[in-house]
Amino acid sequence: MTAPNTRNWSANELSDFAGRHYHIEVNGEVQTPATNFSPKLTERIPQGINPRILLLDLTIVKTAEFGGQIVEYHKATYEHPTSGHQYDEVDILFDGEIIERIKVGHPKTFAAAAPKKPAARKAAKTSGKKKPAKKKAAKKASAKKKGAKNAAKKAAKKSTKKKPAKKTKARAKK
């Protein structure tokens, strides 16, 4: 029997919220010849030489006696508890031959984040290194803005003041 068409495979090793319990989820879509067939993923026994590669057998199972002759894709899923970062790859086999190889994703969790070291930060602060260069540039820029504002205010005051009338020659002679 030839291998069915497959698409959209993904494998992720996920943890619970606390980061204590892990499980692997493998998802994909498999083309079936009729509506009364569905794909099934099971763990292959024996697993194989490399313990970092999970081997799964794909089978097409008849779920009902009658079904429409519509070729369509059905979802295939597999879920299994793990010890966390246990697998690097998942191989999907059909009739003993590998039809798909998937890299396992290890999404970050809150518990997986490394704890921050406050001692290292304190040592960096007391080491005497300064970061005033950026502050000085910011201070200079704000000083320039203030100077420009003050100059604009002075110019506005001068333009609003009434200027005394110019003396004419006739007035000057008197």
Q: What is the pLDDT of residue 112?
A: 46
What pairs with residue 14 in β-bridges? 23
pLDDT value at residue 174? 52
Q: What is the pLDDT along the chain (174 residues), one digit of tens a residue?
A: 788 999 999 999 988 877 788 899 999 999 998 889 999 999 998 888 999 999 999 999 998 888 888 889 999 999 999 988 899 999 999 998 999 999 999 887 544 444 455 555 555 555 555 555 555 555 555 555 566 666 666 666 665 555 555 556 555 555
Contacts 24+ apart (CB under 8 A), 112-118: 112/15, 112/19
pTM over 0.85: no
CB half-sphere exposure, 153, CA atoms < 13 A: 6
Counting every residue written for the chain, the total comes to 174
The per-residue b/e assignment along 87-125, b for 16 or more CB within 10 angstroms, e otherwise, is beebbbbbeeeebbebebebeebeeeeeeeeeeeeeeee
Domain-by-domain residue ranges, the chain?
6-105
**What percent of the residues of the chain are helix, what percent strand, and what percent coil, each to the nearest 5?**
25, 35, 40
pLDDT of residue 65: 84
Residue 149's pLDDT is: 61
- Rg over CA atoms, the chain: 38
Residues 6+ apart with CB under 8 A from 95: 1, 3
The pLDDT score that the predictor gives to residue 173 is 56
- pLDDT of amino acid 110: 46
pLDDT at 30: 95
The closest alpha carbon to 71, from 100, 36, 99, belongs to 36
CA distance 99 to 37: 19
pLDDT value at residue 153: 64
